[in-house]
Amino acid sequence: MEDFLSLELSELEGRIHELGQPRYRARQIFSWIHGRGVFRADEMHNLPGELRKRLAPLLSPLPVALEETLEAEDGTRKFRFRLRDGASIESVTIPEEKRTTLCVSTQVGCALGCLFCRTGRMGLRRNLRVEEILGQYYAIRSMSAGKTDLTHVVFMGMGEPLENLECTCRALKILTHPLGCGLSPRRLTVSTVGIPGPLEVLFHEIPVSITLSLNGADNETRSRLMPINRKHPIEEVLATLRRLPLAPRRRFTIAYVLIGGENDGLQDAQQLVRVLHGLRCKVNLIPFNPFPETELRGPKKADVTAFQEFLRSKGLSTHVRWSRGGDVLAACGQLSGDAL
């Protein structure tokens, strides 16, 4: 049965019209589901009773069931959800002074096998459906009600969003719809390894922020850390970004995971400056977050500082994103659904 949670407004209007109801009823239902987080027809009080009866068997509860919540010392929280087929995924909330960011997953596992990412060691189990992506947001929004608002959503959890392009785009459109969640596209970020065709589709479909996970400034290093680089090398990925018509005052974000002895030397910083020359971007340096199954190590703090200072000296806006939630394996690259 098609899940109403996955339908964009125009699709929902068509389904409601098939039930013999005026299209404006679809807007009311859409607002109940996505704006207020109501998933039971009998609670949609501005609908006529007969319509609520007909809707009842068509509406489903959230397809994600909370299994476990872990809270780190810094306030970061990791949520493990069980899906209807028994698979598990993880989501993370990161509280800051003026914002709370939710990190959602788009796949069960990941096929890309990046060496620094725990999710990649799972392999790909399957793509998440639209309602499973949105379900993470709605479940955590409900749990956070009255405590804190989820101000930003980043598609940086388990999986590569562009490998699940259609569902990613549909979820983003529902999250930003004014009758639904009403989130500003500027508060939504998609993090990707950079798959040129889908990247261009995403850019033209919805104006969210894009973070490119680069992690190596030359093809040898990046291919060693990220096998996808053998198919889509640095030059191809950056050429794609350069030809996208970025709006004035907007920038791409380049994410660069610093791994001790792998990509954190001065020569790496010099090469990074060269390959990013002329691209409107800022750089987020992410010191590697170790996890139990890896032999990779984090960088020395002095090397992180030196790397940042060199990039800044060459005019690149550069920030260090220190680990959050590492004590509960909730930091960047550590999610796995405990399936390893």
Domains and CATH numbers, the chain: 4-58 (1.10.150.530), 64-328 (3.20.20.70)
Q: Do residues 120 and 107 lie in contact, with contact meaning Cβ atoms separated by under 8 Å?
A: no
Residue 169: active-site member: no
Q: In which element (H, E) is residue 190 found?
A: strand 188-192
Q: Do residues 286 and 318 lie in contact, with contact meaning Cβ atoms separated by under 8 Å?
A: no
Q: Do residues 44 and 29 lie in contact, with contact meaning Cβ atoms separated by under 8 Å?
A: yes
What tokens were used for 188? 């939504």
pTM above 0.75, yes or no: yes
What is the identity of the amino acid at 52? R
Axis-axis angle for helices 266-276, 301-313 (nearest 10): 30
Supply the pLDDT for residue 38. Answer: 94
CA 81, chain centre distance (Å): 16
Contacts of 246 (CB under 8 A, 6+ apart): 252, 280
CA distances from 57 to 36, 131, 139, 157 (A): 20, 17, 21, 32
Contacts of 39 (CB under 8 A, 6+ apart): 5, 33, 59, 60, 61, 62
Token look-up 């940042």 returns: 308
Catalytic residue among 13, 90, 132, 262: 90
Residue 204 CA neighbour count, 13 Å, CB half: 10
Supply the pLDDT for residue 340. Answer: 45
SS3 81: strand
Supply the pLDDT for residue 330. Answer: 67
In angstroms, the CA 182 to CA 298 distance is 39
Query: What tens digit of pLDDT does each residue of 48-68 get?
Result: 999 999 999 989 899 999 999
In angstroms, the CA 21 to CA 224 distance is 57
What are the helix (H) ranges across 165-316?
165-176, 196-205, 219-225, 234-243, 266-276, 301-313
Residue 67: active-site member: no
Supply the pLDDT for residue 2. Answer: 63
What residue ranges of the chain have pLDDT lower than 50? 1, 340
In angstroms, the CA 163 to CA 105 distance is 12
